[in-house]
A and B are shown apart, each in its own frame.
Chain A
Amino acid sequence: MSTDTLSQVRRPIRVTQWRVIKAEWIKFRSLRSNRISTAGAVVAVIGFGLLTAGVATGSIVPDGPPGGGQPPDFASFLDHTAIATSGIMLAILIVGSLGVLSFSGEYSSGMIRATATAVPKRLPILWGKATVLSLVAAVTMAIAVFASFALTGNMLADIGLRSDLGDPNVLRALLGNIGFVVGIGLLGLSLGVLLRSTAGGITTLFATFLIIPQLINLILPDNIAEVVYKFMPSNAAQAFIVTDPRYSFGSQSMELLTPAAGALVFLAWVVLLITAAAVSLNRRDA
């Protein structure tokens, strides 16, 4: 058990934030499920974009509703950006789950004991995981979203729907979609810390942040629902991921925030949850 190796090391052996980020990157890339999921998110965005573009141009004809009527005339089939990012909800599901798993997986496997004895100050672990997840999500979604935009553009040119990156709101909406995925990943990460359970984290993430907001106008009185609705994270995100509110999904009768306000509200949710996660990680027993 020679001590030579470690006494010969030039840089001091100690924990730094940068080293924890590198360690978390090793952990992320060394799990096959992470690699498959990440690739899956890219494929889903591009594939779904192409599929939707096919439907919009009429080159793919979906089965009509029972009775043989015309397929419904979705407003989002009329906008190049909305078509290109039509698969983003799949990416949300995948990256949100990856976020939850990056902590809940440590708790369920006992890995957290190894991680926390190596980095007992703990907060660098949270920042390390957040950095790795954000970078992975941002880079892969940038590739997916811009590739989908370019590929669908060729198809949509035929029916005159093609937009240009320089057109109003297009670049903002595309970047918004990337930011949306990154943000949901971070919300998932925070819930992984807070709930420590994969099933609990994923359920909470998608129930509270994606499903409940759609039900708000059914549960709450109209005047309250109007306000609550637009401040929910997913609806705040709707405000900046589309070029125009009419292309958003969800209830068309409900008003959305402005893109800038939506981005701020969404960011506030992320900051709030990460702060709660940081407090929890620091205080609770590992």
Chain B
Amino acid sequence: MIELEQVTKRFGDKTAVNGLDLEIRPGVVTGFLGPNGAGKSTTIRMIVGLDNPTKGQIRVHGKAYADHDSPLRTIGTLTDARAAQGGRSAYNHLLAMATSNGIPKRRVNEVIDIVGLTDVAGQRVKGFSLGMGQRVGIAAALLGDPATVILDEPVNGLDPEGILWIRNLMKNLAREGRTVFVSSHLMSEMALTAEHLVIIGRGELMIDMPMADFIAEHAESLVTVESPELSRLVPLIHEAGGHPSRSDNGAMVVTGIDSKTIGLIAARENIPLYQLATTSSSLEAVFMSMTHDAVEYQATADIHSVERASE
């Protein structure tokens, strides 16, 4: 259990995190979401003692991270950028970290095997690709076999294979009963892996709820309807409690009632249908509209108006 109590972090006159109250519960994957600059990395850095909060308290299993006998055994951390010196081999990097906490050499070899770096462990980190560098970071996070693993933007910049690997790794870590706290700026990524969702914007807590509840609350189902007699269908849909609207390609998009109801209405009234399909509104869109006002740097013209202008 990691508890944050009214945590505030200021850098000069800029407030990165503002009065954050948060409990990271054990045994689940918690997705920590926010646009760039929302304070995710700062929050993570404060949890593991890299940054000191300006105000507030953070407790990891009841005490400060730094007060634990073996920090690496308490929380494994993957920081947002590479954290290894280029001239040193992956093996020596991990060995030095392990040695400081009294973790035996054979565990170093184990984590190297787990992340699949066995063949290149003796090579200098300098020549590693982004994905291999990320594996070194994950290996370091697993050194102490910690009950909690914190990963800051682990899929950032990775190729599809790397993303899949990280996704499976997180699922495995959770299956082993570990607490996994993972930050991302991609809602779609979190919807696939996280059971619990925390969203921050401009350093303030916006959402803290189970992912399933968030999806139930925010993911509306949309029904796309195509028919030569839409004008007859529209009043009937209104009558049944649906909200029809025109989509870009001339079809109709209905919210509020499901495809079954629309299909039955059409059959009863002998209205031919060319298409009747259900889609879910993208959680990404929900997340973006939610954090829109909280985005640190906004492009001055939004994408749609640019598209319209170029048409």
Query: What residues make up the interface of A, taking CB atoms closer than 8 Å to B?
Result: 1-3, 5-6, 9, 11-16, 19-20, 22-24, 26-27, 30-33, 105-106, 109-121, 283, 285-286
Contact = CB atoms under 8 A, between A and B. Distances in A.
A27 B96 contact: yes
Contacts of A2: 110
Given A13-B70, A118-B71, A119-B71, A19 B99 contact: yes
A110 B79 contact: yes
23 contacts: A1-B173, A11-B102, A12-B69, A12-B102, A13-B101, A14-B69, A16-B102, A19-B101, A26-B95, A26-B96, A30-B88, A30-B89, A32-B87, A33-B87, A111-B84, A111-B85, A113-B50, A114-B84, A115-B97, A116-B49, A117-B79, A285-B51, A285-B52
B102 A113 contact: no
Nearest to A119: B100
A120 B66 contact: yes
Considering the complex of A and B, which 3 residue pairs feature the smallest CB-CB distances, nearest first?
A: A14-B69, A120-B66, A30-B92
Interface stretch (B139-147, B187-195, B204-212, B291-299): B139-147
Interface in B50-75: 50-52, 65-66, 69-73, 75
A26 B97 CA distance: 9
A120 B71 contact: yes
B219 to A, nearest CB: 33
A9 B172 CA distance: 24
Contacts of A106: 85
B241 interface: no
B104 A109 contact: no
Interface of B: 45, 48-52, 65-66, 69-73, 75, 77, 79, 81-89, 92-93, 95-97, 99-104, 106-107, 110, 114, 140, 142, 144-145, 172-173, 176
B52 A5 contact: no
A286 B100 contact: no
B83 A14 contact: no
B179 to A, nearest CB: 14
Nearest to B104: A9
Contact of A121 (B66, B104, B145): B66
Nearest to B71: A120
A2 B173 CA distance: 11
Contacts of A111: 83-85, 93
Given A9-B103, A117-B71, A119-B100, 15 more contacts: A5-B107, A9-B104, A12-B69, A12-B102, A23-B97, A24-B96, A27-B96, A30-B92, A110-B81, A111-B85, A113-B79, A114-B79, A117-B50, A117-B72, A286-B50
A63 to B, nearest CB: 40
Given A6-B144, A121-B66, A110 B100 contact: no
A115 B94 CA distance: 10
Contacts of A3: 145
Contact of B86 (A6, A15, A109): A109
Contacts of A14: 69-70, 101-102
Given A1-B176, A26-B99, A6 B145 contact: yes
Contacts of B50: 113, 116-117, 285-286
A5 B51 contact: no
B101 A114 contact: no
Contacts of A13: 69-70, 73, 101-103, 144
Contact of A30 (B70, B77, B82, B96): B96
Nearest to B77: A117
Contacts of A120: 48-49, 65-66, 71
Contacts of B88: 27, 30-31
A5 B142 CA distance: 12
Contact of A20 (B52, B100, B144, B172): B100
Contacts of B110: 2, 5
Nearest to B147: A3
Nearest to B79: A113
Contacts of B96: 23-24, 26-27, 30
Nearest to B169: A1
A15 B70 CA distance: 6
Nearest to A105: B85
A2 B81 CA distance: 27
Contacts of A110: 79, 81-84
A118 B100 contact: yes
Q: Which of B49, B77, B106, B140 has most chain A Cβ within 10 Å?
A: B49
B100 A19 contact: yes
Nearest to A10: B104
A113 B65 contact: no
B172 A22 contact: no
B96 to A, nearest CB: 4
Contacts of B176: 1
A122 to B, nearest CB: 8
Contacts of B72: 117-118
Contacts of A112: 83
A11 B144 CA distance: 14
Contacts of B103: 6, 9, 13
Contacts of B99: 19, 22-23, 26
Contacts of A105: 85
B40 to A, nearest CB: 15
